[in-house]
Amino acid sequence: MGRGGTSKVYKVKSMTNQRLYAIKKVTFDQFDDVCVKGFKGEIDLLTKLKGTERVVQLVDHVIGEGSIYLVMECGEIDLAHVFQNRLAATHPLDLNFVKFHSIEMLKCVRSVHDAGIVHSDLKPANFLFIKGVLKIIDFGIANAVPDHTANIYRESQIGTPNYMAPETLIGIGHVTPGLMNAENNMLENKNTWRVGKPSDVWSCGCIMYQMIYGMPPYGGYSGNQRFMAIMNPQIKISYPSKGLGNVPVPKSAVELLQKCLARDPNERYTVEECLESDFLKPKIVSEAFVRDLVHLAVNFGYNSRNNGTGSITSDLYDRLVDTVLKGIEELNYG
């Protein structure tokens, strides 16, 4: 079915139940102990996530002298191929397409974060449709996050450049002066890289950006220039008013992207905040609600004039706003 730098994946059929599965075969006699430890760590994480709906399920595994076999659910198509097919067919921006796949993707990441795990290598190819349900795959470089911290510190810099957050690229102790924050300064003697749940949110923002504009935020750069652009705070991400096919991009979509792609990890949305954003969960009003609101405003103004109450106090404004917001909430959530 495919191959990576360290493994091959095959589609197989069980002779027992005739079901299709994917077998990931890793031959590690050519790798060092760190690689072997990483693959065993993937097994541990998949075992921990067993039963999680939005994570590809590990069915079985075998660790031999020179290889590891992981038997997993078999999927139909990943998001990378979905995007490629749409771009090849030159489809214009479809906001319903973006919303659906963004929500599905974020639900996958939420299930992983809820389990206390940072994936660290989120990209379209690592989201796979299995029987119509999007699931997250490839935990080869993921890490469990200790309860007392939102970040972990990794001894090697790994991930996919197009979707990597700035903090995952900045090596502590090997950083250009001026790019280091206070936390980096405290740990400047450690040759490590920082990753955390906000870095996964950045990756999700890059994928959503790609769905809207056709490429990730720094997709116009190549090689080392891409790394330098991501790390350089002077190079701002552009948010054009028109997306694929010259289709207008809603302000709510741009606001969500900006919250996901904030350079400071502390300023980024959480996955839950992304799912609750105005773009992915818009406030809906009906014609009847608008009519009632207009009637309320006109009647209020008329009564105030006749009663000679004069100016409207701020408390009264607040009460009116609260009434409107409550009406919208009841309309949206029943």
Which CATH number does the domain housing residue 24 bear?
A: 3.30.200.20
Residues 173 and 233 in one domain: yes
Residue 94 falls inside a structural domain:
yes
Residue 280 falls inside a structural domain:
no
pLDDT tens profile 178-190:
333 433 333 343 4
Q: Read off the CATH number of the domain in which 155 is found.
A: 1.10.510.10
Alpha-carbon distance 230 to 205, whole Å? 14
**pTM summary value:** 0.76
Looking at residue 212, its pLDDT comes to: 96
Residues 109 and 200 in one domain: yes
Specify the higher pLDDT residue, 174 or 239. Answer: 239
- Give the DSSP letter string of 131-191: TTEEEE---TT-EEPPTT-SEEEESS--S-GGG--HHHHS-TTS--TTS--HHHHHTTTS-
Residues belonging to the active site: 121
Residues 161 and 195 in one domain: yes
Residue 62 falls inside a structural domain:
yes
Residues 207 and 315 in one domain: no
Residue 281 falls inside a structural domain:
no
Residues 95 and 31 in one domain: no
pLDDT tens profile 243-284:
999 999 999 999 999 999 999 999 999 999 999 999 999 877
pLDDT tens profile 73-114:
999 999 999 999 888 778 899 999 999 999 999 999 999 999
Amino acid identity for residue 2 in this structure: G
pLDDT tier at 313, thresholds 50, 70, 90: low
What does the pLDDT average to over 136-164? 57
Residues 62 and 187 in one domain: no
Residue 142 falls inside a structural domain:
yes
Residue 282 falls inside a structural domain:
no
Identify the domain containing residue 320 by its residue range.
Answer: 287-333
Could you give the percent of the chain with pLDDT greater than 70? 77
